[in-house]
Amino acid sequence: MAVLSSLLCSSARLFSQPRLGFWELTVFKRTTWLSLPVQRCYKSDTSESSVDHLSAGLERYRDLQKYFNRRLKATHQRFSSIPDHSVVFGLHHVYFIEGDGIYRMDKRQRELDPEQVLNLGQVSEEKDKTGRDNEEMKRRCQRWTVQRIRLSPQEKHLAATLKTNHREELRCVVVRLGNSPPLDSPHVIFTLDKVFSFEWATDNVLFYTTVEDLRCSRVFRLNLTPCGSTICSVYQETHPDVFVEVSLSRDRQLLSINCSSRTSSEVLLIDTTTSNLEPFLVQPRQTDLLYHVEHWRRWLIILANTGPGQEYQVVQAPLSEPFMASWAPLLAPGPGTVIKDMDVVGDHCVLVARTPASELALFVVPLTHPEEAYTVQLPSWACAIQTKKPDLADASVFEFLISSPVHLPVSFCLHPEDGLLLSDTEERSSPENHGNYTTTRLEACSQDGTSVPMTLFYTVPVEGLRQAPLLVHVYGAYGRDLNMEFCPEKRLLLEQGWALAYCHIRGGGELGLSWQRQARVEGKHRGVEDLKACLHHLFSLGVSSPALTALTACSAGAVPVGALCNEHPHMMQAVTLQAPFLDVLGTMEDPNLPLTLEDREEWGDPAGNPKHRLTISSYCPLRNITPQCYPSMLLTAYSDDARVPLSGVLKYAEKLKKAIYTHFTVKPKSECEPAPNIVLNIQSGANHLGPEDFEMMLEEVMHFLLVCLH
């Protein structure tokens, strides 16, 4: 499943939740720098009373820190056993992740104790042997976390990618396995650095891609033989805006090399049932054509944006004639319905779709009788779906988790043959999944008349929403949906009386490809207008008020938030931004930065197109700061983040403080509002996607709560 990941280019300025649950994370120390709050510029009183006031404020701050730390830990402990898909089922064993490595249990002899397959401590020791300074190793690579696991077809080998907490680059390790317990001295037989994606074609052949400067352009083949190992290059992409990854069809018969830019894609296939394993092309790259390929009985099942309005539909073609001229329509969604993902399960094509009511549903197409397609309704509270990679032993069922930001994940299993949908009754009946909260889907009317969907969660009675604090989430870039998976701290806020709003503004992918296209390049400001309309609509409905509203965004989501802060700073009280992209103009003018060239399809080319420069200049958060009273802000940045350079965040923070200083200097004392807190939190390392360490994550959330509530 997750076929569209190859079309969304993983090198973008994106934010996503860590793959591992919070209960699996390791502990790191870090260095945090917090700036002093911006004080009223006319106030230079150093009297004893003001010193006492400052001391009292610091004491209250420390008390709040302790309070939130206790509450957050208790909340995470409550949800420490929620289901996930980190367990991998092989032919004979079940593989799972513990703190110090990967273990497995024999399905045939369950009474046996788990045996360790990979010891993460040994991986770190191996790195020390390369000659790197031991102190540097302790600081940068104290522990590893497992990101993904792949088993070879007959469980002869296991490959896994590992990540340290301060680096984005992944290390791939290959372990030799045995099928009979006890496992004979499992050890790493091969190590590959900077690996992004990887799949087994056979028990002894691993295909993988590597990352250099955030670009993934090369595919390699690792051959494991009794006489040794060899690596050869399979494919190299020459276009700087194309991202390359490998994936495996559900039946494991085809390996795909997916070469995708923001607006077009090209797929090469390798037939794993043949001996030569040579790639062949499906359809040459074509402007504005996006497609992804699955396999069924020597036919290609293709998800392509060849439907009405250049939206996704399903087509099919013979494996022997894969070119576009042979594509025959299989299913096109109805008006207002958007296909989000596709999988082939047995003789059925299973589609994840979003309906005109903005709810998730499954469309099931019997490939032998497409006219008998049917729909599987999912619970109305479902906002996110996570599919499970099929087991080696049985790929005839479709397993997935559904959740929402405040609803724990629930496991479901679909049997496509008879349409039987089963769920874990214990999970569904859990008291934690029966909280007294409401999920409401709303629409706001943007400046140009476009309806913008929102999702609202609340627990307080409707008549009490006016006094409820409101946390607004937004992203709106790269065609990515706003992350709406379960989040323990969001559940905590809900239980504390907060309302949570998720604004699905243009630029994201919630309403399909056209939703993204409307807010690309010269249409970027539409996302700002959409966000403004969402806030206006919430307030007009009696949901909270500007004085009780906080906005939160990550990475490219900071653009509409920062732009709105410049244009309408009194619409919110506080803002929290993680790894924020704030210097759009300066970044897109520098072709030497890693993502500038491929991001031109999203933001434009200000260096070569005067119209693009004018458009970016009109909304760029850094360029449009002006002397006025801004909301309080928490800016969390990472010192070595290559996706969002730290320099842009530093420039923004400095310019913002100067603007606030000027505002409070020139404005008469009697008319001054309370000065905002501007907090700059700089993390070490290059962890653009946020901390994976439990304590570090808690600390960041705690800072956010303090800025919102202090």
Q: In what order do the strands lie in the sheet with 93-98?
A: 88-89, 93-98, 101-106, 115-119
DSSP secondary structure string for all residues of 620-684: -TTTT--SS-PPEEEEEEETT-SSS-HHHHHHHHHHHHHHHHHHHHHS-GGGPPPPPPEEEEEES
> What is the mean pLDDT of the segment spanning 22-39?
30
Residue 690 is assigned to a structural domain of this protein: yes
Say if residue 624's pLDDT is above 50: yes
Average pLDDT estimate for 44-67: 50
The C-alpha atoms of residue 287 and residue 272 are separated, in whole angstroms, by: 30
Q: Is residue 239 part of a domain?
A: no
Model pTM greater than 0.85? Answer: yes
The C-alpha atoms of residue 281 and residue 275 are separated, in whole angstroms, by: 18
The overall average pLDDT reported for the chain is: 84
Q: Are 150 and 198 in contact (CB under 8 A)?
A: yes
Of residues 23 and 139, more confidence is placed in 139
pLDDT at 710: 53
- Look at residue 684 and tell me whether its pLDDT is greater than 90: no
Does some domain include residue 566?
yes
Residues labelled as active-site residues? 555, 641, 688
Q: Is the pLDDT of residue 294 over 60?
A: yes
Distance CA 240, CA 259 (A): 11
DSSP 49-74: HHHHHHHHHHHHHHHHHHHHHHHHHH
| pLDDT score of 336 more than 80 | yes
pLDDT of res. 68? 67
Query: Does 310 reside within a domain?
Result: no
pLDDT digits (tens, 9 = 90+) for 267-279: 999 999 999 899 9
Q: Are strands 678-683 and 632-638 parallel, antiparallel or unpaired?
A: parallel
Of 47-51, 427-431, 555-559, least confident by mean pLDDT is 47-51
- Within-domain flag for 692: yes
Lowest-confidence region among 61-75, 388-402, 616-630: 61-75
Strand partners, 151: 158
In a domain, 93, yes or no: no
Contact 516, 524 (CB under 8 A): no
Q: What is the pLDDT of residues 149-176, one digit of tens each?
A: 999 999 999 999 998 877 788 999 999 9
**Within a domain: 531:** yes
- Is the pLDDT at 54 greater than 50? The verdict is no
User: What's residue 306's pLDDT?
Assistant: 97
Domain holding 451: CATH number? 3.40.50.1820
Report residue 448 CA to chain centroid gap. 29
**What is the pairing mode between strands 338-345 and 348-354?**
antiparallel
- 352 domain-assigned: no
3-state helix, strand, coil in the chain (%, to 5): 25, 30, 40
- Cα 407 to chain centroid, rounded: 18
| DSSP class per residue in 534-584 | HHHHHHHTT---GGGEEEEEEGGGHHHHHHHHHH-GGG-SEEEEES----H
Number of structural domains in the chain: 1
Range of the domain at 664: 18-79+436-709
Q: pLDDT of 463-479, one tens digit each?
A: 899 999 999 999 999 99
